[in-house]
């Protein structure tokens, strides 16, 4: 008469499919190795799916996002673009599901398809070039600023070295959250359909959301991105806090305190960015201009009295925290897989 209530050990199987974890780990490793070796495509270190969304819908969105239109009209136009993009990429997810089931090759096919929605090595490639450019100052490092500008959609010509460093550090935190933790989370929950549906929403929020300062066109993707990203964002924050234990000069107590301090709005990086600022005792954010020429007045985020005049040394520590957080995430995934293997028949 009554269905059996699942035990605590069985609950996780109702949330995500543990059998997908090995493929996700393979994809994370793959995207890091390839990205570090080849660098990002066209200077953009975001996931490949984001680049495809930009190529397919970016030009159309720019034509529809007219300043003179009412906010409600712009929001409706943004919704239509989002709906079309979702249909296209959810369909692509179904194709990936079929292909990965038909062609195994020891899970490599599935890992490659997952990697399309992840960012990893390309981010290190770009930020390390930025680090060397800031360190050498007068010597030109080819493509150092271009990759950061394309990836973050910030016009670096309108800010100084301090501002450029803040953009790079924010990019390290946000790419970990949006380019690794969140897409993997939704892959584990919903397979390729969940993976690509989330990736499309995140890509449109990045492309048109203007970090929360959209005049309407990016409002719907921003709202849905926030809804889908709440849990992954909290997980990414925990991992960044734990990574501070292994990072020189980072402060684990301050990273924990950041949960109760004044934080960045979700659209500007949220808890992961806030944890990065607090644990390194710096101030991130500040007004910038995006690639479309709009002024984006980002909040100043960091502990009281922390400096915003940061240099390449702070960027190096941000990269180190990012790397430690990546390793901790992989370890947690493997731990969850082993745990599920023991508890489930």
pLDDT band at 7 (very low <50, low <70, confident <90, very high): very low
- Dump pLDDT digits (tens) for 79-90: 999 999 999 999
pLDDT number for residue 4: 46
Tens digits of residue pLDDT in 83-110 = 999 999 999 999 988 887 777 777 789 9
Of all residues in the chain, the percent with pLDDT exceeding 70 is: 92
The burial of 256, by beta-carbon neighbours within 10 Å (0-12 exposed, 13-18 middle, 19 or more buried), is given as middle
What's the pTM? 0.90
pLDDT digits (tens, 9 = 90+) for 114-144: 999 999 888 999 999 898 888 876 555 666 7
Range in 26-30, 207-211, 281-285, 334-338 with the lowest mean pLDDT: 334-338
């Amino acid at each position: 008469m009554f269905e059996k209530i699942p035990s605590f050990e069985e609950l996780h199987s109702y949330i995500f499919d543990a059998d997908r974890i090995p493929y996700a780990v393979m994809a994370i490793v793959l995207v890091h190795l390839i990205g570090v070796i080849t660098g990002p495509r066209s200077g953009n270190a975001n996931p490949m799916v984001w680049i495809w969304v930009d190529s397919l819908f970016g030009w159309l969105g720019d034509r529809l996002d007219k300043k003179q239109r009412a906010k409600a009209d712009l929001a409706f136009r943004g919704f239509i673009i989002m709906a079309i993009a979702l249909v296209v990429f959810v369909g692509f997810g179904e194709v990936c599901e079929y292909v990965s089931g038909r062609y195994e090759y020891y899970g490599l096919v599935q890992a490659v398809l997952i990697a399309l929605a992840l960012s990893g090595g390309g981010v290190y490639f770009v930020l390390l070039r930025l680090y060397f450019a800031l360190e050498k100052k007068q010597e030109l490092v080819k493509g150092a600023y271009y990759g950061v500008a394309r990836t973050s959609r910030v016009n670096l010509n309108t800010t100084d070295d301090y501002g450029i460093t803040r953009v790079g550090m924010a990019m390290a935190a946000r790419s970990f959250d949006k380019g690794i933790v969140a897409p993997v989370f939704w892959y584990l929950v919903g397979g390729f359909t969940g993976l690509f549906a989330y990736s499309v929403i995140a890509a449109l929020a990045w492309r048109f959301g203007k970090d929360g300062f959209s005049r309407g066109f990016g409002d719907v993707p921003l709202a849905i991105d926030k809804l889908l990203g709440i849990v992954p964002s909290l997980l990414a924050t925990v991992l960044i806090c734990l990574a501070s234990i292994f990072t020189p000069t980072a402060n684990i107590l301050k990273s924990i305190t950041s949960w109760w301090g004044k934080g960045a709005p979700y659209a500007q990086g949220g808890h992961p960015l806030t944890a990065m600022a607090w644990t390194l005792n710096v101030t991130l954010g500040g007004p910038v201009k995006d690639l479309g020429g709009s002024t984006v007045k980002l909040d100043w985020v960091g502990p009281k009295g922390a400096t915003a005049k940061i240099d390449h040394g702070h960027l190096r520590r941000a990269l180190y925290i990012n790397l430690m957080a990546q390793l901790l995430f992989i370890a947690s995934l493997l731990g969850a897989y082993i745990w599920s293997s023991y508890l489930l028949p």
